Structure 1
Amino acid sequence: MNEIIFNNTSMPVVSGCGLLAASEPFYHIDRTADFNVMIYVFEGAIYVTEGTEDYETERGGLIFLKNGIRHFGKREIPKGTRWFYAHFYFNEAPVYESIFAPLPKCLAGLSGSGTEERIMEFCDLCSSESGSRDRYINLRFAELLSFLAYDQSENAPPPKLSDRICRYLSENISSPFSAKALEGEFFLSYKRLAAVFKAETGMSMQQYHDRLKMAEARRLLSSTLMTVGEAAMAVGYQDPLYFSRRFREMTGSSPTEYRRAAAMKM
């Protein structure tokens, strides 16, 4: 089985997503993609072969397909099948101690469950035309993958403190890092929060917040026409020169060099 490994400190990048419906029977496309695929079936069934393994995903079923492996159809997908898909990859990231877990290859019987509700919420975000869509889509997908990798059981324990902190920091990606704000949000001393977060993730909260900012900055530089200064402001840096210096420290290239290299790959 071709597992996709989720790293709790990495940021997935969604390159395409949407809700589709089959107006006529068809076979799954024959391809070897450079991105991973998540498919959730709302109605009907998806039949796909990955490498040498045949998969049948029916209503309420979820499947992940791994990049670099041939996917194709041997059996017709019936008319009326309705499904949600997300194409994604994981960005390059600094090496920190991390927690790794395989995403489930397949899940079934999710109709009406909390898991389906989470998928539908993400599907709604993908379909949204609001300005917040592009800003939050990767963050929300990271939360969904984390849920599927670690605690998609209906009886799962409450999220760890570090997971709650990660969510808070991701929702405040454009704000300056603030120890006081964290203490006010979680009603714990900053010293305690820092110790727990470091023990559970292997990095500091400041490092994690900086990493989120740079992941969003890379997305803005590679997929929008924002200037370097505008991208810096969007992720909370008032000084473009300081932003450029931090960007180079964390990625190994300047914002301009990164944008040029990203454009050459398109």
Structure 2
Amino acid sequence: MAYRDGNRALHKHGDIHALPHSPDLSVYVPMIGMNICAPTYKNIRKKSDITVLGYVVNGHGEIRVNSEKHRLGRGDAFILRKDSRHEVTALSDSSDPWTYYWYNLHGNSLPLLETFHLLHTPYIPNAGIEALFLKGFAAVKHKTEDGTDTQTALILSCTEIIFTLHKAVKQAAEYTSPIMGRMKLYLDQLVGETFHSEDFAHQMDLSFKQLNRIFKQHTGSTIYQYVLARKMDIARMMLQDTELPVGEIAIHLGYDDPQYFSNLFKQKTGMAPTLFRQHAKEIH
């Protein structure tokens, strides 16, 4: 059903569509909508159980995913990924309200983002994909009673959005910094292998020190931090979504020593892999 959200406590209003879903879908869209935000609007999810795809149609606002923060304006897209801290804040005044479309994705949305290398990309400037978001709103108007056809249309719409954002990110990286495009491509395909800085420098034809400096200028993190963050995110997904033993997950991620992997995982997440898996099952 569609309804107007005019709750003053939330400092926003706009059309929201709540949708039924089929229980056999591993990823589904429970809600889509448009937020027209007052200058005081702020929304915080401390550890979100959903992924949010958003597109700004007016005004300015700010998003934060964990410690990464971005200011957004008209035409920009954003991804607030599941299992992270989300903050969304309006920056425009009431004469130019921050307005954005959003889709909520429930279920196993992280593997979808990982497939298109968007797991660590919360902000895509000048995305120009308003028409793709509007496809979902059009689909809602023609939904069937059980919502199955609508869910299929919305999941396809989300996949098209994510694929288009992937292309935009890749093209932007290649245009603004060809070396960054090459580095990201190399590192994103490295998840199942051990990272060797010498091999990396040889492939890029620059010293590792130069590469690390360029990478940090563009991303805010070092190459090692980026590789490790990706491996840990994929480890979380595999622990939650598969029954593979911890040792096999370690090998899949390029760690020959399962104990070293377990210690590293605990250091980065605060939990041993087996405890993380148990905790994830209790939550879901």
Q: Give the TM-score of the pair, scaled to structure 2.
A: 0.47
Q: Give the TM-score of the pair, scaled to structure 1.
A: 0.50
Does 1 or 2 have the higher relative contact order (CA < 8 Å, sep 6+)? 1
